Amino acid sequence: MKRTNTFDVAPMSDKDAELLHRVLDASASLWNELNYERRQNFTDPDIDKPVWETEDYRKRYKGVLGSATAQQMIRKNDAAWRSFFALKEKGEANGLPGYWGNEDDGRELRTYVRNDQYTLETGEYSRLEIPVGSDLKDEYDHTGRLRLEVRGGPKWSGKQGRLELYYDDMSDRFKAIQPVSEISRQDSPLADETAALDIGANNIVACTTSTGQQYLYEGRDLFDRFRDTTQEIARLQSLLEDGRYSSHRIRRLYRRRTRRRDHAMDALARDLIERLHADGVATVYVGALTDVLETHWSVEANAKTHNFWAFRAFIERISHTAEEYGVTVVERSEAWTSQECPQCGSTERTTRHKDTLTCECGFEGHADLVASETFLKRQTTVSRPMARPVCLKWDNHDWLETSYSHRPNEEHTNPQVASVGEGANARRRPPARGIPRL
């Protein structure tokens, strides 16, 4: 069984930062050159695809990357092409393996280091060491082992796998991904609780747990930025000469729009699963997003559902992150949960206006949180009083808690918040308090 550690890394000097950039840039160049040759030869019947020659690329780049790392990059490209051919046989291939950008539009900086070629030291001063090639060693008068500061300790222990090291231009940080096997979770609580997620576009996730916790991740600001970039792309496309469909600037905006969205969604998945893991949640129920356009069709709904949302990809993010923590994700039907009154059970007497669900019986509550709680009740018999919902907003880097959480039929207050953690980056959480159930 495998799990994954993810942590930030940082060069310890300007010289190390330049050296790290050279390694990542050379890895992208190796990928692009090898991929270009393979794409050019894809239709050549005289070339045996399973045994494509790669030795020249290893020799060309070993001076910068080291022989082992150059070989890992080649193997990663091999895996991409094997996956392509497997999907092609099933009729499911969507396109040839792509490039990692270019110098004009921005290059994807990423490398892979064999499991026996790097060392990770954890403790008060955590460090990561990776090899560099002999050419860089001589040019920079270096030891040949690049040391990087590690920020954030690994959550899993076990036999380490191939390290992935990359630059995240959205957060302006270097990050490392370390798969491990024979895992021992270092800080796992006893987990037997459940949670249910209501996934939407205005509020990306509304979550209710069997412990009485509720979390709401607001998505309006995210979608507004996505829509603004989309409109700018359309404006630039309208200015193109006849016969042209794109430009460097348009492609750059497309890539920025996608990366911003994916960065926020990745961060949301991790923040949510970390919170649920800390709450002792073992199973997460996710509702399938069905009949949205048929029920609430509009141009904006279409843009949110198909372009901004990428619902299936988001569910996969949730599932992959949950797997790291030993949490199981189960998809179940959530039909009528957003229209059902939790007080009288009616779906015909309820009215939804924006974020509020009201019923003729007198009930009023937050529609998405109501839906997630109703969804949870269908999966479990556990029933506990609900704490004040924790509302979170995206600040382009992290999901931060707002100073208070809104619940209709309750006076808005600004309670003193409690810090979880220490230092300037401590997470802020409102204290739990008993309130009427939704």
Q: What is the pLDDT of residues 194-252, one digit of tens each?
A: 999 998 878 899 999 999 999 999 988 888 888 899 899 999 999 998 888 888 889 88
Residues 332 and 423 in one domain: yes
For 123-154, what is each residue's pLDDT tens digit?
778 899 999 999 998 998 888 899 999 987 77
Query: 438 in a domain, yes or no?
Result: no
221-225, 334-338, 400-404 — which one is most confidently predicted on average?
A: 221-225
Q: Are strands 328-332 and 281-287 parallel, antiparallel or unpaired?
A: parallel
* Separation of alpha carbons 410 and 14, rounded Å: 53
Check if the beta carbon of residue 82 is closer than 8 Å to that of residue 51.
Answer: no
The tally of CA atoms less than 13 A away on the side-chain side of residue 131 is 20
Residues 268 and 370 in one domain: yes
Of 47 and 378, the structure prediction assigns the larger pLDDT to: 378
Residues 266 and 170 in one domain: no
Of 123 and 80, the structure prediction assigns the larger pLDDT to: 80
The last residue of a domain, from among 138, 159, 185? 185
* Separation of alpha carbons 239 and 241, rounded Å: 7
The last residue of a domain, from among 185, 220, 236? 185
Of 384 and 207, the structure prediction assigns the larger pLDDT to: 207
Residues 404 and 301 in one domain: yes
Domain containing 378: what range?
A: 193-429
Q: What pLDDT was estimated at residue 291?
A: 40
Burial, 39: exposed, middle or buried (Cβ in 10 Å; 0-12, 13-18, 19+)? middle
How far, in Å, are 62, 69, 144, 434 from residue 59 at the CA level?
A: 5, 11, 18, 66
* Separation of alpha carbons 351 and 172, rounded Å: 44
Number of independent structural domains in the chain: 2
Query: 437 in a domain, yes or no?
Result: no
The last residue of a domain, from among 152, 185, 218? 185
Cα radius of gyration rounded to whole Å, the chain: 25
* Separation of alpha carbons 54 and 72, rounded Å: 12
Residues 167 and 197 in one domain: no
Question: What are the residues whose beta carbons fall under 8 Å from the beta carbon of 237, sequence distance 6 or more?
Answer: 245, 246, 250
Residues 310 and 259 in one domain: yes
Residues 285 and 161 in one domain: no
How far, in Å, are 22, 146, 348 from residue 29 at the CA level?
A: 10, 20, 60
Among 24-28, 140-144, 179-183, 407-411, which is the least confidently predicted range? Answer: 407-411
Among 122-136, 178-192, 295-309, 385-399, which is the least confidently predicted range? Answer: 295-309
State the average pLDDT for the chain: 81
| CA-based nearest residue to 356, from 340, 370, 372 | 370
Q: Tell me the two tokens of residue 147.
A: 């040391």
Residues 415 and 355 in one domain: yes
pLDDT at residue 5 is higher than 50? yes
Q: What pLDDT was estimated at residue 272?
A: 96
Of 338 and 38, the structure prediction assigns the larger pLDDT to: 38
* The length of the chain, given as a count of residues: 438
pLDDT at residue 384 is higher than 90? no
Q: CATH number of the domain that 418 lies in?
A: 3.30.420.140
Q: What pLDDT was estimated at residue 49?
A: 79
Of 2 and 129, the structure prediction assigns the larger pLDDT to: 129
Residues 154 and 214 in one domain: no
Rounded to an integer, the average pLDDT of 377-388 is 81
Burial, 59: exposed, middle or buried (Cβ in 10 Å; 0-12, 13-18, 19+)? exposed
Residues 40 and 96 in one domain: yes
Residues 135 and 247 in one domain: no
Rounded to an integer, the average pLDDT of 338-360 is 87
pLDDT bin (cut points 50, 70, 90) of residue 403 is low
Residues 169 and 268 in one domain: no
Query: 389 in a domain, yes or no?
Result: yes
Torsional class of 181: left (φ above 0), alpha (ψ -120 to 50), beta (otherwise): beta
User: Three-state DSSP class for 386?
Assistant: coil
* Separation of alpha carbons 346 and 359, rounded Å: 8
